[in-house]
Amino acid sequence: MSDNQRPQDHFGRRAKKENYPARSVYKLQEIDNKVKLLRPGMTVLDLGAAPGSWSIYVADKVTSKGTVVAIDNASMKVQLPAYVTVIKQSALDIVPAELLKQINKKGFDAVISDMAPHTSGHKFVDQSRSFNLFMRAIELSEEMLNLGGNFVGKIFVGEDFETARAHMRSIFKTVKIVKPKSVRSESFETYLVGLSKK
Ligand SMILES: C[S@@+](CC[C@H](N)C(=O)[O-])C[C@H]1O[C@@H](n2cnc3c(N)ncnc32)[C@H](O)[C@@H]1O
């Protein structure tokens, strides 16, 4: 069951009140508060961006001095400022050189991925799909994240989790596991945070 299908909790009500289309914004906010991910002027790639809560949050943090690229194969549900480029596309189809040319940048300062598969109800199937999306986000970071850049990616914890974490350790100086308070206690999703790309 996705967040949207469950009864509204404290975070859901708060998101509605604060005009965010999804409660997931508080997951990114908590990670950002912990690791100081976002600053004015940064260039950020937001993968799995729809309906748009993370993109609103990131746009506020990087300000109009920054650039945000929001990519999802689903449609965004929010209005975003002009310095946010919205692309309706699967992350699997991104061609890094073309994307960087389109936004006239040499790389990103941060890549964040909240990508999640449509859940099937079969734990192992969902974990394996989540792992594949996570590894795609990492692959894109290897190609487009600037040296010293940071990464946040959602992953469903399963048997591939340690493989993902080990791979991240080969790319980033520091790797942390963060399970924000707003992740529902019964959920097996968590976030891997990579700080300072080597
Ligand atoms: C939990 S939602 C993201 C919520 C978003 N961070 C927000 O705050 O509004 C997960 C998203 O991952 C997207 N997604 C799944 N597979 C994808 C893919 N291959 N490429 C891009 N987006 C994908 C889904 O369409 C969905 O919108």
The residue whose CA is least distant from atom 24 of ligand 1 is 48
pLDDT tens per residue across span 51-100: 999 999 999 999 999 999 999 999 999 999 999 999 999 999 999 999 99
Confidence of residue 187 (pLDDT cuts 50, 70, 90): confident
Q: Band of the pLDDT at 43, cuts 50, 70, 90?
A: very high
Minimal CA–CA distance to 53: which of 28, 82, 72, 35?
Answer: 28
pTM (2 decimals)? 0.96
Could you read off the pLDDT of 112-130 as tens digits, one per residue?
A: 999 999 999 899 999 999 9
Catalytic entry in 27, 61, 154, 197: 154
Q: What percent of the chain has pLDDT over 70?
A: 96
Q: Is the pLDDT of residue 186 over 90?
A: no
> Edge-to-edge strand order for the sheet containing 43-47?
84-88, 67-72, 43-47, 108-113, 145-156, 189-197, 172-178
d(Cα 54, Cα 60) in Å, to the nearest integer? 10
Q: How far is the CA of 129 from the centre of ligand 1 (A)?
A: 13
Distance of CA 81 to the CA centre of its chain: 19
Ligand 1 atom nearest to CA at 3: 1
Domains of the chain by range and CATH? 3-197 (3.40.50.150)
Which carries the bigger pLDDT value, residue 15 or residue 196?
Answer: 196
For the chain, the first-to-last Cα distance in angstroms comes to 37
Q: Which amino acid is at 123?
A: K
Nearest CA to ligand 1 atom 7: 53
Q: What is the pLDDT of residues 61-70, one digit of tens each?
A: 999 999 999 9
Task: Output the pLDDT for position 6.
Answer: 63
Is 154 labeled as catalytic in the residue annotation?
yes
Which of the four pLDDT bands, split at 50, 70 and 90, describes residue 5? low
Answer whether 76 contacts ligand 1 (Cβ < 6 A).
no
